[in-house]
Structure 1
Amino acid sequence: MKTSVLRRACVAALALAATMTPAVAAPQDGNAAPSDRIGAPSDRNGAPSDRIGAQARLLGEKTVPHKLRFRNTTVGGLSGIDRDPCTGEYVMISDDRSQLQPARFYTARIGVDGDGVHSVEFTGTHPFRQPDGSVYPPASAGDGKVVDPEELRVDPRGCQYVWAQEGDRPKASSDPVIQPTIQFAGRTGEYRGRHLMPPNYRITTGDWGMRRNQGVEAITFGAWGGLLTSAVEGPLIQDGPVPDLEHGALIRVTQQNRHGQVRGQFAYPLEKIFAPSDPASPWGPDTGVPAILAFPNDPDRYLVLERTWVAGAGYKIRLYDATTRGATDVRNMDSLQGQHVAPMRKQLVTDFDDLGLSTVDNTEGMTWGPTLPGGERTLLLVSDDNFVEDAVTQIVALGVR
């Protein structure tokens, strides 16, 4: 969420946030065993049921030092995290648009168990490479190759990396449109191709498509790597207005197979804004879905992270258990306004205000961790500090059952 950098600065001043087949074939990096499973409600035949309602408790948290220097890079802006089943380590993407250093990701060992988060040890970092092998330049280069990395997942079938960049709807008509992409990368960042995007994810020049800074921030593998699901952070322009104090909104969640074919698209109900904004602030509220995480053995069930920032009230972070089962397939609906659709069902898992954390900040990424002896699965979440002093890079661990 790039606008929170400016918002935080403004608030501070006022006060003195099988192989996937892309357009270009992406080779595999080897064979990986499936990651640890988490139980899901099942019917008597072993198939996933329609029930949702996961429960979570806080295991612990750990804060990474602000602007930690690691191998000549600045650690921060961590907006996505995933566990690598080939190594047991975690991979985290930075949303630095090559302003501090080239767009990149980090690997780390995170010590977590039922007693909390004991350590976060960074083990490597690599820049993402363009097709010609070069790193991504900063926006100031003016060559139209702006990149906005937001999410990274490890393909459970081979452990190559899949990452999403949000693109950019320009403020001025003279500026270039940067389309969102989902790309493949090798384990050292080399370009391996692209995944096909749903047609209605494109940014257009008119009143159609994704809003500025509300593109694709959330992707996840489901069905043991058979599906790649993506979510748009906020409602498409044609689908209606953004949430306010009285109304929520509908965003689109899309399931695609490993060849990029759309298997279904569904409307997810985003909550209304939780508090009024400080009237002295020039910034309105900002809300959306920065992360979605599939239950490994249920291709229709997800954990969905909703993140809201309101001037004067701070962050509201809520985690939901949601399912596409029974929801209307909206892939052929140009607009959701005025349409009778059954949205995805969801149930609150936890509100971060109720967890007893040291602070509730700009949480943007989440992944499954190891299974605990009692059967709970760990859920690790990371916050994006936007490289500003009044924010934190926070690793939170929850126990989910």
Structure 2
Amino acid sequence: MPLSLELLDESVLPSQEIEKTRIGGLSAITYDRQTGNYYALSDDRGFVSPARFYTLSIDIGGKDPDLFQIRKITIKDVTLLRDEAGELFPPGTIDPEGIALSPDRTLFIASEGVSQDGIPPFVDEFDLTTGRRLRALPVPSYMIPDAAGSEQTLGVQNNLGFESLTIGGVGTGEPYRVFAATESALLQDLPWLEEQRQQAPPDDPVPLTTRLLHYVVVENRAQVVAEHLYPLDEPPSLLTVNNGLVELLSLDGANALRSRPGGYFLSLERTFGAEGFGAKLFQMAIASASDVSTLTYLQGDAKDFQPVEKQLLLNLNYIEGFHPDNLEGMTFGPRLPDGSQSLILVSDDNFRDNQVNQFVLLRLTSQR
């Protein structure tokens, strides 16, 4: 069933502090339907304030269906992330980028790691109340940097590790799923991708591909059951510095789309460079994608692999009068008064004066 997205409103959260922590670097957000709260993750590596997430409320209202607005954003609390012993993470040892609320009312949080320092990425489960780490999900060894800096030959690229995180399979009566994806290709995939791209005909280019992990969580056990390739759109221009996958969102979590089968997602790709920031939203499906979980190195022909399927829903740069900031986070919010599904995006201001914490409200509907 085709989907459509419509921009309704945007709001900027003013610079502020809570409990001596500076609010900023908001790289991920997840919605708690039980309480109506949102949890927004800061990607601060602990240099501005300790690694943390914020609890906030977003008041959405409006009598006219075409004039729904973000009326107010309120920061209610901050929770510091801690290891199993209850200690804060030392500065520079964690780069939080993805957050998702589980059916067990815990938070899964993804860290890109810091490859240049040999610090591995992770997908870990944390206590919602205390922020203490409960367990680590297994990460394939070939995604772990094998060395620091220029000596690295294997694993996620620096600052291009696990950026996307979402939970699916909720409410199906089966174990729920966790999906985590790298922002760009693994370091060892680059030579193969470059070779394939050079050999491809101009009318059938080979895309740069990230890797997407599919976990199944059964009580106290979690395991990778599949891994897929996600194809990135080509950069919009030669002035683009970075072009990557920054968020996934399982459509299982959309109240207004409950009839949709599992395995469908929204994905958010973000670009930045000399021309500023860009953002595209896609509808995505994994059902027909090849499983590459046995491949440390991609090999053979590009046509041997079927990546996930995706279809562009909205290019935010093509909306007149709207200018996306560094949009990185995405979550479903409440159902809107007209019965449609709200979608919230949030931007990471990088703690820079020339950027903002931008919240964007969109309406997601099914086309019949």
TM norm structure 2 = 0.85
TM-fit CA distance, 1:247: 6.0
Q: Does 2:116 correspond to 1:154?
A: no
**1:274-320, CA deviations, whole angstroms, 9 ceiling, x for partnerless residues?**
1122xxxxxx7111111100111533111110001122x11111011
TM-fit CA distance, 1:200: 3.1
**1:185-228, CA deviations, whole angstroms, 9 ceiling, x for partnerless residues?**
11231221212223332222242221111100111000107100
Which is richer in strand? Answer: 2
Q: Which runs of 5+ in 2 are unaligned?
A: 253-259
Which residue of 1 is the match for residue 242 of structure 2? 286
Query: Given the alignment, which residue of 178, 181, 185 partners 2:122?
Result: 181
Alpha carbons 1:223, 1:298 under 8 Å: kept: no
Which residue of 1 is the match for residue 346 of structure 2? 382
Which residue of 2 is the match for residue 72 of structure 1? 20
**1:257-281, CA deviations, whole angstroms, 9 ceiling, x for partnerless residues?**
003222211111101111122xxxx
Q: For residues 356 and 123 of structure 1, what CA distance do their matches in structure 2 show?
A: 33
TM-fit CA distance, 1:372: 2.2
Q: For residues 188 and 395 of structure 1, what CA distance do their matches in structure 2 show?
A: 26
Which residue of 1 is the match for residue 306 of structure 2? 342
Note closer, same or farther for the CA distance 1:165–1:357 as it changes in structure 2 (3 Å cut): farther
Which residue of 1 is the match for residue 142 of structure 2? 200
> Matches of residues 46-65 of structure 1 in structure 2 within 5 Å?
53-65=2-14
Alpha carbons 1:363, 1:384 under 8 Å: kept: yes
> Matches of residues 1-400 of structure 1 in structure 2 within 5 Å?
41=1, 53-66=2-15, 68-113=16-61, 114=65, 115-139=68-92, 146-155=93-102, 157-170=103-116, 176-186=117-127, 187-205=129-147, 206-224=152-170, 226-240=176-190, 248-258=207-217, 259-277=221-239, 285-296=241-252, 298-311=261-274, 313-339=275-301, 340-356=304-320, 358-400=322-364
Which residue of 1 is the match for residue 255 of structure 2? none
**1:101-127, CA deviations, whole angstroms, 9 ceiling, x for partnerless residues?**
111110001012451211100110011
Alpha carbons 1:248, 1:273 under 8 Å: kept: no
Q: Secondary structure at the match of 2:94?
A: coil
Q: What code does the residue aligned with 1:70 have?
A: I
The count of aligned residue pairs is: 330
Alpha carbons 2:332, 2:342 under 8 Å: kept: yes
Q: Secondary structure at the match of 2:284?
A: strand
Q: Which runs of 5+ in 1 are unaligned?
A: 1-40, 42-52, 140-145, 171-175, 278-283
TM-fit CA distance, 1:358: 4.1
Q: Secondary structure at the match of 1:200?
A: helix
Alpha carbons 2:143, 2:154 under 8 Å: kept: no
Alpha carbons 1:276, 1:310 under 8 Å: kept: no
TM-fit CA distance, 1:251: 1.0
Q: For residues 343 and 159 of structure 1, what CA distance do their matches in structure 2 show?
A: 32
Q: For residues 276 and 299 of structure 2, what CA distance do their matches in structure 1 show?
A: 30
Q: What code does the residue aligned with 1:221 have?
A: I
Q: For residues 262 and 119 of structure 2, what CA distance do their matches in structure 1 show?
A: 31
**1:122-167, CA deviations, whole angstroms, 9 ceiling, x for partnerless residues?**
110011012221212223xxxxxx1111111111x22111111111
Q: For residues 98 and 62 of structure 1, what CA distance do their matches in structure 2 show?
A: 26
Q: What code does the residue aligned with 2:347 have?
A: S
Q: For residues 363 and 150 of structure 1, what CA distance do their matches in structure 2 show?
A: 12
Alpha carbons 1:103, 1:127 under 8 Å: kept: yes
Note closer, same or farther for the CA distance 1:85–1:188 as it changes in structure 2 (3 Å cut): farther
Q: For residues 261 and 41 of structure 2, what CA distance do their matches in structure 1 show?
A: 26
Alpha carbons 1:247, 1:271 under 8 Å: kept: no
Q: What code does the residue aligned with 1:303 have?
A: L
TM-fit CA distance, 1:374: 3.4
Q: What code does the residue aligned with 1:132 have?
A: A
- Identify the range of structure 1 (184-193 vs 353-362) with the bigger mean alpha-carbon deviation: 353-362
The Cα RMSD (Å) is: 2.0
TM-fit CA distance, 1:383: 0.1
- Identify the range of structure 1 (284-293 vs 55-64) with the bigger mean alpha-carbon deviation: 284-293
Q: Secondary structure at the match of 2:230?
A: strand
Q: Secondary structure at the match of 2:330?
A: strand
Identity, % of aligned positions: 31
Q: What code does the residue aligned with 2:262 have?
A: P
Q: Secondary structure at the match of 2:214?
A: strand
